[in-house]
Amino acid sequence: MPSMLDIRRRIRSVKNTQQITKAMKMVAASRLRRAQDRVIAARPYAQTLEQTLASVAGRVPPRPDGSPVHPLLALRPEKKVTLLAVTGDRGLCGAFNSSANRAVLSFLQEAPDRGIESVDVIGLGRKGIDFLKRRGVTWRDQYPGIFSRFDHATAAGIAAKLASAFVAGEIDAVYAVFNEFKSAISQVVVTKRILPVDLPGGRSEGSDYLYEPSPEAILERLVPAHLDFQIYRVLLESNAAENAARMTAMDSATKNAAEMIDSLTLTYNRARQARITKELIEVVSGAAALS
């Protein structure tokens, strides 16, 4: 059985750890509030942008040669694929990073069965980059520390590189693996195709509109804007999910520390009581021997 001094030291150590986890929980909760607001605000915009894109694309007449109305809408066999592996920059967030990393590995392992000849990875987040570096993946680009400070311009820069490679025929498709934010206690790993751009619900015909400039010119602006925002939304979702996972993990750690402190305190009190009882017995035994 450990000594009372060892138990006191351990209680003090656990209390210090509890203070750290409680502080981290509060910080994550504060960041989650802001990240959640950004995600919720982005979702209606993304939905409206998708509907507008589908509506405008439906009014662009087909090209005589049968080619797509925009290069980023071109569907072709997926032989060369780029994968966006989105994780966090830091740990202490439960299974957030490991779940995303497992989904990335699963995608890489299943690629040959789907007819994919090569997969280049773009690492977004230090934890995923460190994990995949030990597994010999082929890199297209790396963005460690991206979540320390990111905005729409960051996503637009990534989207521009991907769009250029897609139009040039260097890649046939782009997928993203990331944690989608559901609630403060729920995050779901999602594998989503980013390129070629999907037209949700088909090409809507609807009512006639007057366009200025032409539908073709509007579509030329809408498709890249949609791609930019798709990547930006992936970053927003992952950032909110990471803060939610960290808040939940730190809350559990704080509660576990409290339970451990109670258990150690009970052990300490028992050891103290046993020591007092032993001393009383020794005093009584000494007094009896002198009488």
HSE-up of 14 (CA within 13 Å, CB side)?
19
Question: Per the residue annotation, which of 28, 69, 93, 173 is the catalytic one?
Answer: 93
> Does the active-site annotation cover 93?
yes
- Asked if residues 11 and 264 have their Cβ atoms less than 8 Å apart, the reply is yes
DSSP for the chain, please give it.
---HHHHHHHHHHHHHHHHHHHHHHHHHHHHHHHHHHHHHHHHHHHHHHHHHHHHHHTTSPPPTT---SSGGG-----SEEEEEEE--SS--STTHHHHHHHHHHHHHHHTGGGT--EEEEEEESHHHHHHHHTTTPEEEEEETTGGGS--HHHHHHHHHHHHHHHHTTS-SEEEEEEEEEEETTEEEEEEEEEESPP-TTS----S----SS-HHHHHHHHHHHHHHHHHHHHHHHHHHHHHHHHHHHHHHHHHHHHHHHHHHHHHHHHHHHHHHHHHHHHHHHHHHHH-
**Phi, psi for 204 (deg, rounded to 5):** -75, 135
- What does the alpha-carbon distance between residue 261 and residue 12 come to, in Å, rounded to a whole number? 9
Q: What is the set of active-site residues?
A: 93
